Structure 1
Amino acid sequence: MSRKRRNFTAKLKSDLVLELLKGEKDLNSIATENSIQPNLLRNWKKEFLDKASVVFDDSREENIREKLDEERKEKEAYAKKVGQLTMQVDWLKKKSTELLGSDYESKFSPKPFDD
């Protein structure tokens, strides 16, 4: 008999843990009703309680926005630099072809890491 791996949504997990925390039903009855192992439900409860303080952490949201803005600016700077370097390489290839001929690369030693 093969067992299919089940994926549980965050909403389902949080609903089950909240139901458990309310205390109206015990852990085993909730686990049985939802065909879940009790240990899995215990782990979800522990994870839920460990991360509960994040809900009230106001600085977290500001830090995320700042980090995203920094990453976006950094990516834009890299894209600009790549564009500039690409233009320079294209210009150099064009000028090399004009001045030295189309076989200018054969006049120089091979590239060190060229396959």
Structure 2
Amino acid sequence: MSRKRRNHSPEFKSKVALAALKGDQTLSELSQRYGINSNLIVKWKKLLLTQSSEVFASGKGLAPDREAEIQSLQAKIGQLTMENDFLSKALDH
């Protein structure tokens, strides 16, 4: 009997990690409350602590490497749109 693997949203992960940081409840209480393993809570908490500086890396809330990635993806979208338009016109003739 196998359970289907669940994918948690980033919002849920941050909510759980922040609750763990508060320290109001124990790991087992948080685990029961959110229905997840306490090891996941510890992992998400460590991840939040180690990568929290990336939020403040630029004025917009994104790290510079993420901004470069977004620009690269937008350029790729533009290129694919142009190719799609060209090919659709070629097929019409």
After superposition, the CA RMSD in angstroms is 3.0
Paired residues in the alignment total 77
Q: Classify the secondary structure of the residue corresponding to 1:51.
A: helix
Aligned counterparts of 1:72 and 1:31: Cα–Cα separation in 2: 43
Write the distance in 2 (CA, Å) between the matches of 1:67 and 1:13. Answer: 23
Pairing 1:8-87 to 2, within 5 Å after superposition: 8-58=8-58, 60-61=63-64, 64=67, 68=71, 72=75
* Distance in structure 2 (CA, Å) of the matches to 1:7 and 1:63: 22
- CA distance in 1 between counterparts of 2:9 and 2:55 reads 19
Unaligned runs of 5+ in 1: 84-115
Provide TM-score, normalisation by structure 2.
0.64
SS at 1:20 equivalent: helix
The DSSP-based 3-state class of the residue aligned with 1:11 is helix
AA paired with 2:25? Answer: K
Relative contact order: is structure 1 or structure 2 higher (C-alpha 8 Å, sep ≥ 6)?
A: 2
CA gap of 1:2–1:52, structure 2 versus 1, over 3 A, is same
Which has the greater radius of gyration?
Answer: 1
Q: Which runs of 5+ in 2 are unaligned?
A: 87-93
TM-score (norm 1): 0.53
% identical equivalent positions: 34
